[in-house]
Chains A and B, each alone.
Chain A
């Protein structure tokens, strides 16, 4: 069964203090690994999809990387508006099934 584990559960950073969020995964064959941002009371907002080990994608202060076992979301010089829960999800090659498995998220708080 596909599994996604995110760490830490919560992270508190000072504005400008760079850090990384971790997503460890186990799938039978990776079709895609996704990062989403979720603000309270809202649906997840898409950030990135990564498809193969070694791939990297960047958007503003965020950079996502992927290995065969884990993905990192690096946040450079975060601002208070980056405060949110960051969700990692995977989709596996699994005989026609379209299931996307999410982790429980990392709740990030950036203090001014």
Chain B
């Protein structure tokens, strides 16, 4: 079956532009995570959804970052007024369980470059 799908794979944005990154999790997966991965670093947690509920947004770096999952399936990460420091790979992961200390399946990520 299909894995976690993220689009676009690559995005170049001018500084100040708004961007929207999409994540299609594995069908039926309850849990969904967003991470930010800078070059040469490990992923950094941004936010967590259980179905449509955003239960943890403690990792969002500023109020320019917003995530939603309105129907408990597809999720969108929106970044307003992009800055150069937002350049990174944004990873989405999903899991079939409400228990988040279990296996998660990652997408290939969206590489965002802010120029």
Contacts and interface: CB of A to CB of B under 8 A. Distances in A.
Contact of B106 (A44, A98, A104, A105): A44
A42 B42 contact: no
B102 interface: yes
Contact of A44 (B43, B44, B56): B43
Contacts, number: 61
A102 B46 CA distance: 12
Interface string B1-34: 0001000000000000000000000000000010
Interface residues of B, number: 26
B42 A100 contact: no
A96 B55 contact: yes
A89 B91 contact: no
A109 interface: no
B114 interface: no
Interface stretch (A12-20, A45-53, A58-66, A68-76): A45-53
B62 interface: no
Interface residues of A, number: 25
A43 B106 contact: yes
Given A43-B91, A43-B93, A96-B56, A102 B44 contact: yes
Contacts of A89: 42-43
Interface of B: 4, 33, 35, 40-45, 48, 55-56, 58-59, 91, 93, 100-109
Given A43-B107, A44-B43, A99-B58, 15 more contacts: A31-B101, A32-B101, A42-B109, A43-B93, A43-B106, A44-B91, A44-B106, A46-B104, A87-B42, A87-B43, A89-B42, A91-B101, A98-B45, A98-B55, A104-B40
The 5 closest A-B pairs by CB, nearest first: A43-B106, A102-B42, A32-B101, A98-B48, A31-B101
Interface of A: 4, 31-32, 36, 41-46, 49, 51, 87, 89, 91, 96-105
30 contacts: A32-B102, A36-B106, A41-B108, A43-B91, A43-B106, A43-B107, A43-B109, A44-B43, A44-B91, A44-B106, A46-B103, A46-B104, A46-B105, A49-B101, A87-B42, A96-B56, A97-B56, A98-B33, A98-B48, A98-B56, A98-B100, A99-B45, A99-B48, A99-B56, A99-B59, A100-B33, A102-B42, A102-B43, A103-B42, A104-B40
